[in-house]
Structure 1
Amino acid sequence: MAGNKSKKGQASGYKNGNDEIVKLEGVQAIDQDTVVDFELKEGPERPYVITEPDAKVSILRSISSHYEKILLIVLTVITLYVRLYKLSWPNSVVFDEVHFGGFASKYIKGTFFFDVHPPLAKMLFAYAGSLAGFEGDFDFKKIGDEFPETTPYTFMRLFSAMTGVITVMFMYYTLRASGIRVWVAFLATVCFAVENSFVTISRYILLDSPLMLFIAAAAYSFKKYELYQSFTLRSYKYLFATGIALGLAASAKWVGFFTIAWVGILCALRLFFFVGDLSKPVSTTCKIAVNKLVFLLGIPFVLYSIFFYVHFNTLINDGEGSAFFTSEFRSTLIGNKIPKKVQSEVGIGSLVSIRHVGTMGGYLHSHKHNYETGSKQQQITLYSHLDYNNNWLIELSSRPGVTLNTFQNLTDGTRIKLFHAETEHRLHSHDHKAPVSSNADWQKEISGYGYPGFNGDGNDDWIVEIDKSKSAPGEAQERVLAIDTKFRLKHALSGCYLFSHKTKLPKWGFEQQEVSCAHAGRPHLTLWYIEANENPTLPWDATRVSYTPHGFWKKFIESHYRMWDVNKGLTASHVYQSFPQEWPFLQRGISYWGEHNRQVYLLGNAILWWSVSMSLFVFVLVVLYEVVAWHLGRPVLQDAHVVNYHIQFIEYFLGYAAHYIPSFLMQRQMFLHHYLPAYYFGILAFAHTFDFIVTYSFRNKRRAGVATALIFTFVCVWFYHNYSALIYGSEWTRDLCKKTQWMDTWDYNCNNFAEAFSDYATIATTTTASATAAPTSAANVSS
């Protein structure tokens, strides 16, 4: 017997030799073993494992003891304190609150914006702000901007903090569901509750904390699902919950798709073992597979689509972000300036705007600024916004500057000049190298050339070539029609084509997109079409056309093309970027905020962080050793506790890998917070190593195991406390700060802090005086 019945504090059951459930209490309940033996049966030709879980496992790994509930209350109080402490400070914009606070403002005002992340987490912040009375009147323009009284930033941060609190509780429940004893799960979760990086991300208006909540919910739900036999009500309940959580995770950030991949891998592995279970018919395995497809892929897709539907129906007013999208998309927005009912027939004398097809970069554009390289003639760019500098007059190359009295169609092969209406320069190419792509000999400069009264020269001549395969069927393939005809402009003298790509001009070119004349390159990057078109020689009742506005699914697909495209393009270097190979070693963090001689700096809890990295590395070595030992005929994995440890660690290790390995494939700028989803699974895996060491390895020296666990937890708490000034933006001194820089790459600037704590009183007085003087100065200026 595992223990005798007593009168107080019942706990969940333990499997004894008579296959009974015995109620345990007190210390026994907290230290209760949750591992049961696997059931082997002898088949006609081989033994096989019964893959359906023992009914007792779910009881052993559920919360029922009064003592455990008390521990949960203690854990909740600790977590609330850690995450809610001085939540209103800093009282100014921190790190990416610039983006996500600003997006919340736009949601409230219904102003369209573009972001590379799915909408759910941003919408939740907007809802939290709206609930607290935020009217979107603060734009979160830059880090350090102080919040006005009308912005309920503390309440918005409170939402983030509460998602962090719930994430901690999910970790505890997940550890219990995967077989860790109560007291070990409690101590491991305390270490997670004071993990500096997770505390930091859960105190500000950032997407990471809601994302981690949804990932944690998915991990917990799936681990609970594994405890119940197939086709039972509870198995369906937790499978459904897993699908919901996966949908929420993917709808917060695309990292959630890695979580879906992790669950998919575990399902595939489990189905593989189902096939080897001779007690389970193939038809049953097929039904389980179908159920998982429906619940774990169908539900997430439905949720993901619903949140985008809400997103599009909330952001109904035109805004700057619409410039990333096609005119068909933009025409669905209220207040858009996309041309409507434009004359369809394009001809000589038409005043047009010319849009690039290949990159969605915008309109052929010029302005009164010259290149600083090459010919130093007037710049020609691609500009994504509607502007009068996008207007071009189509002229016959043989009669430039002559106004025709009758309409003449623009047909395939017509030789034309393009006259920039605002600056009176013509579209021109010559043998100068392209301004940015100067190393590409196949690209030549495009410029604006000429002056008032000058009729141009041969380098201003372009030949229209209609692409019939890309144009609308019918008349649009024979002559140029607005919107419907796709065409190329071939330089008459050199044979190169008007071309644009994603390359941007430097600041002297206002970082607009480069336009060149290409002798090679991808054909779709040389395609153009007419958007706006007006010709005075056409009759008043001439045919007019408009864009066909996109429906939901077209907007959904286009937005994902743009999100993917822009995400890939985030390659610019950043002062606080880091690389995936550095993350397991915690080589550097991220500066979030620095004002008033204080700093917020994202840094992990090095004690837990390095322990996780070491446990992952050591486990790989252990498994390699076991594989070799098995091939040599030595017994391995003979004990149920060892087997359970391997199974749970491997499952979480796969979660770690699924969220970490894709980082090496990404070419965009990366930061330490991109490691946190993988790190979460690493902590779950390490917790099993922690449990295995202090309960199994020390099974004959229980006090030593408990002491080891307590010491490790104490050191994690010590690290959190010692570095808490970087979490909360608190007062600190330079000397104390410098003592904490264990690595040279931990690049928070200790010189930002005051020499002594007493100096902060003077700093506070100076700051208050400056804040008081500022309105007076502003009043004087305005008067």
Structure 2
Amino acid sequence: MPESKGARRRVPKNAEPAPVVEQVPEDDSGKTGKPPGGQVYQKPTSQGSLSDLWSQHRAHVSGLIYTVLSLLTRFYRIGHASKVIWDEAHFGKFGTHYLKREFYFDVHPPLGKMLVGLVGLLAGYDGNFEFKSGEDYPEEVPYVEMRMMLALFGVGMVPLAWYTGIELGFSDWASHLFALMVLLDVGWLCISRFILLDSMLLFFIVLTVFCLSKFHNQQSRPFSVGWWTWLTMTGVAIGCATSVKMIGLFVTSLVGLYTVEDLWSKFGDLQMPVRTHVKHWTARIFCLIIIPMIVFMASFKAHFMVLNESGPGDSQMSSLFQANLQGSELGTYPLEVAFGSRITLKAMGFGGGLLHSHPHLFPEGSGQQQITCYHHKDANNEWTILTPWDQRPYSPTDPIRYVRHGDVIRLNHDLTTRNLHSHTIPAPLTKLNHEVSAYGNTTIGDVHDYWVVEILDDYVLGSRENVPRVRTLTTRLRLRHQVLGCYLYASGKSLPQWGWKQIEVSCIPEDDPKDVKTHWNVEGHWNNRLPPGDKSNFKTSFLRDFVALNVAMMNSNNALIPDPDKQDILASQPLDWPFLHLGLRMCGWGDKETKFYLLGNPIVWWSGSVSLIAAAVTVVVYLMRMQRQYFVMNDADWDHFLYVIKIAGIGWTLHFVPFMIMGRVTYVHHYLPTLYFAVIMCAHMLDHFVFSSPRFSTTGRAVTFAVYAAAIAGTFWWFKGMAWGIDGPILEHKGLLWRKTWNIYTQ
């Protein structure tokens, strides 16, 4: 801890401190003290000597060395395992969809998967491999080249960490140690060597922290070229991070909190003109809100432009979107709906799907045939519009009768011939609603099969007054039960296993036209008596599709909850991660297979977690001492100390706590972005107490660095096989079970 001589003396509470002129000695670390107010000390201009030249460029030489070392570790044996490893089965397949231009659905934003498709294109991949888990790569699939190009994101983490340490004001000792921890962590190394999104996400998070620290060091030169450059780059970086995975919102929140504190501090500056305040606010809004949104939305725009053909993800999107995909039949369906038409009904609410029935009964309640919503297209989603029982039965020889607002209809399920039905029995999940079931057949039924069509509006024609008939795809409608007065409702909740995890459908008594979960549209439409439609009638908009896809992604992500009926040996809990309670097998564990185990470097992970605790204790002790009028450090050093503490501590908290409260299934790789902030904290604590402390001599600092670096390097070498691949029977590789909870030797 850097202190001036006599720093432990107690200062009288009301004493006026004497001005102190500090001489800041330059130690062997090359550090001349913390930059006050975030400013970076300018190096002296070169006089042409080699020592001056080295002084000016040694940081870049070190950065180059770390880049080379990172290339070696990330590329070594990268093609040794010629099988589809872990989530390569998902993301390789997504890359294939881009090459085939087939629309698919996934819970993550598209930027990372588009980059997977791009590296496949650059590597010469033809898009004809299915990426089945554990399957051997054929010779024509350039999986090694694809892995290498994606590994470059993992390579970039290491030099970025080195430069970030410099920008955070670390000494050379601490910056080197920081870079070594990033270079030699087995978990970061392992995740960077496959066709996955994680290396991209990690790179953009590390880039965000680097750009933010560069911007912080430009604060003394507001509105300069450098100031604008790094503020803009910070916005681009958080936009890219969020466009790879929504976890990028966590580092976005870190930048947001930094910005709020920064603007609040400026708000208290009474000497700053109002016009300057407005310029600061405008700059932050443009660079940190508008630019990230542009990057995020641009990735979706490119996603929609590339994937313009019908594919396996169609059903997750709106009916109008599907109609505009090449190869989709929706654009050819008859435009206006009539009695006798065979249709599918799509729920327009969050997490909805297609109205569905199947020959399975409710295990409780009425015991009648189940009605659900289902996202996949099959014949069980098809219904025929018929007249009520008390009217003349529909005949294909009668004049065509179109469905209008206020018409009473009966929906008959094509495959099972049962009718859409509701009664006063409580719904299985939403108990305040009425159960909706399938009942009777084409000749048996009652008035509880009657539904009143209520047109809300039409996407093309506008308000209800302009919509004389129900139109395919574009008309938004509700179905009101004629007897009960309730509305057909897709709750968005998944039924238990007896309902095949499909979406609950019920009848809600509340009449709320704005409740989107009661909104439906006709998606599929077959009627030989009506002319085919024209795609020009079914135009959509980017913003509509953008919102719809993000809502679907959010709901699908929330649905990734642990299944109590299944044991997931790969899953882990957030509290397992900081001290490496459990790793993750990334492939088969047979004797003849190359095995990969996602596990971090124990020295890096454990010291990072301990440093978080140490930092919290240190801040509390310092605040208590300062309250008791003890001198701890000068204002500039204190501000810098807290600045790094907040970047590391708040960054770690923002990336860790959300996993504690979310219900989705979690795995150890979710901690890898969080770990980066723990490593920053570790380097900061070592720098504060050892490398920048006058209590330690040059020899003491060198010994501390050597011991710690050797421990990191030695542990990395001991566990390197987990990232580079373990061949042969696992029992022949002794000494890997440092914790009994690691499932390394069990079969």
State the TM-score, normalized to the length of structure 2. 0.85
Q: In structure 2, what residue type is equivalent to 1:637? A: M
Structure 1, residues 596-636: CA drift from partner, whole Å, max 9, x if none?
Answer: 42421211111111111111111111111222222222223
Partner of 1:86: 77
Partner of 2:683: 687
Aligned partner of residue 56 in structure 1, secondary structure: coil
Unaligned stretches of 5+ residues in structure 2: 1-20, 47-51
Give the Cα–Cα distance (whole angstroms) in 1 for the partners of residues 451 and 44 of structure 2. 75
Give the Cα–Cα distance (whole angstroms) in 2 for the partners of residues 545 and 112 of structure 1. 18
Partner of 1:12: none
Partner of 1:250: 242
Q: Write the mapping of 1:247-396 to structure 2, written as runs, cut at 5 A.
A: 247-275=239-267, 280-340=272-332, 342-344=334-336, 346-347=338-339, 349-359=340-350, 361-367=352-358, 369-371=359-361, 373=363, 378-389=369-380, 390-396=382-388
Q: 1:724 to 1:19 in 2, by over 3 A?
A: closer
Select which of 152, 157, 163 maps to 2:147: 157
**Greater relative contact order (Cα < 8 A, sep 6+):** 2
The structural deviation recorded for 1:421 is: 3.5
Q: In structure 2, what residue type is equivalent to 1:444? A: E
Q: Write the mapping of 1:119-518 to structure 2, written as runs, cut at 5 A.
A: 119-141=110-132, 143-228=133-218, 229-275=221-267, 280-340=272-332, 342-344=334-336, 346-347=338-339, 349-359=340-350, 361-367=352-358, 369-371=359-361, 373=363, 378-389=369-380, 390-399=382-391, 401-403=393-395, 405-408=398-401, 410=403, 414-429=407-422, 437=428, 440=431, 442-444=433-435, 446-450=437-441, 455-458=443-446, 461-466=449-454, 468=456, 473-475=463-465, 480=470, 482-483=472-473, 486-491=476-481, 497-504=487-494, 511-517=501-507
Q: In structure 1, what residue type is equivalent to 2:720? A: S
Aligned partner of residue 214 in structure 1, secondary structure: helix
After superposing the two structures, state which structure 1 stretch, 424-433 or 692-701, moved more: 424-433
After superposing the two structures, state which structure 1 stretch, 80-89 or 192-201, moved more: 80-89
Give the Cα–Cα distance (whole angstroms) in 1 for the partners of residues 718 and 40 of structure 2. 45
Aligned partner of residue 382 in structure 1, secondary structure: strand
Partner of 2:104: 113
Whether the aligned pair in 2 keeps the contact of 1:339 and 1:532 (CA below 8 Å) is no
Structure 1, residues 270-325: CA drift from partner, whole Å, max 9, x if none?
Answer: 33444555765454344233223322223222222222221111111111111101
Structure 1, residues 375-425: CA drift from partner, whole Å, max 9, x if none?
Answer: 766554433344444131413312475527234454565544333344433
Q: In structure 1, what residue type is equivalent to 2:410? A: K
The structural deviation recorded for 1:158 is: 0.7
Q: In structure 2, what residue type is equivalent to 1:750? A: Y
Partner of 1:702: 698
Tell me whether 1:560 sits opposite 2:563 in the alignment: no
Structure 1, residues 94-153: CA drift from partner, whole Å, max 9, x if none?
Answer: 111111111111111111111221211111121111111001111213x21111111111
Give the Cα–Cα distance (whole angstroms) in 2 for the partners of residues 687 and 134 of structure 1. 42
Whether the aligned pair in 2 keeps the contact of 1:52 and 1:230 (CA below 8 Å) is no
Q: In structure 2, what residue type is equivalent to 1:102? A: K
Give the Cα–Cα distance (whole angstroms) in 2 for the partners of residues 339 and 69 of structure 1. 58
Q: 1:440 to 1:726 in 2, by over 3 A?
A: same
Give the Cα–Cα distance (whole angstroms) in 1 for the partners of residues 60 and 394 of structure 2. 89
Tell me whether 1:750 sits opposite 2:745 in the alignment: yes
Whether the aligned pair in 2 keeps the contact of 1:167 and 1:213 (CA below 8 Å) is yes
Give the Cα–Cα distance (whole angstroms) in 1 for the partners of residues 620 and 23 of structure 2. 36
Give the Cα–Cα distance (whole angstroms) in 1 for the partners of residues 422 and 267 of structure 2. 68
Q: 1:622 to 1:405 in 2, by over 3 A?
A: same
Q: 1:423 to 1:732 in 2, by over 3 A?
A: closer
Whether the aligned pair in 1 keeps the contact of 2:235 and 2:287 (CA below 8 Å) is yes
Whether the aligned pair in 1 keeps the contact of 2:492 and 2:503 (CA below 8 Å) is yes
Whether the aligned pair in 1 keeps the contact of 2:34 and 2:169 (CA below 8 Å) is no
The structural deviation recorded for 1:695 is: 1.9
Give the Cα–Cα distance (whole angstroms) in 1 for the partners of residues 374 and 551 of structure 2. 19
Partner of 2:576: 582
Q: In structure 2, what residue type is equivalent to 1:708? A: T
Whether the aligned pair in 2 keeps the contact of 1:195 and 1:605 (CA below 8 Å) is yes
Partner of 2:719: 723
Q: In structure 1, what residue type is equivalent to 2:30? A: Q
Partner of 1:777: none
Aligned partner of residue 492 in structure 2, secondary structure: strand
Give the Cα–Cα distance (whole angstroms) in 1 for the partners of residues 268 and 422 of structure 2. 70
The structural deviation recorded for 1:500 is: 3.2
Aligned partner of residue 411 in structure 2, secondary structure: strand
Partner of 2:92: 101
Aligned partner of residue 577 in structure 2, secondary structure: helix
Whether the aligned pair in 1 keeps the contact of 2:371 and 2:505 (CA below 8 Å) is yes
Number of residue pairs the alignment of both structures matches:
707
Aligned partner of residue 352 in structure 1, secondary structure: strand
Q: 1:257 to 1:496 in 2, by over 3 A?
A: closer
Give the Cα–Cα distance (whole angstroms) in 1 for the partners of residues 529 and 59 of structure 2. 85
Tell me whether 1:594 sits opposite 2:588 in the alignment: yes
The structural deviation recorded for 1:707 is: 1.0
State the TM-score, normalized to the length of structure 1. 0.81
Aligned partner of residue 417 in structure 1, secondary structure: strand
Q: 1:696 to 1:422 in 2, by over 3 A?
A: closer
Q: In structure 2, what residue type is equivalent to 1:396? A: P
Whether the aligned pair in 2 keeps the contact of 1:503 and 1:514 (CA below 8 Å) is yes
Aligned partner of residue 599 in structure 1, secondary structure: coil
The structural deviation recorded for 1:170 is: 0.2
Structure 1, residues 45-79: CA drift from partner, whole Å, max 9, x if none?
Answer: xxxxxx57365279999995455555444433332
Whether the aligned pair in 1 keeps the contact of 2:362 and 2:370 (CA below 8 Å) is no
Give the Cα–Cα distance (whole angstroms) in 2 for the partners of residues 324 and 677 of structure 1. 29
Unaligned stretches of 5+ residues in structure 1: 1-16, 39-50, 753-783
- Percent identical residues: 29
Partner of 1:651: 647
Q: In structure 2, what residue type is equivalent to 1:329? A: F
After superposing the two structures, state which structure 1 stretch, 619-628 or 291-300, moved more: 291-300
Q: 1:503 to 1:648 in 2, by over 3 A?
A: closer
Structure 1, residues 212-247: CA drift from partner, whole Å, max 9, x if none?
Answer: 111212211221222232233223332333232222
Partner of 1:35: 33
Q: In structure 1, what residue type is equivalent to 2:399? A: T
Tell me whether 1:629 sits opposite 2:642 in the alignment: no
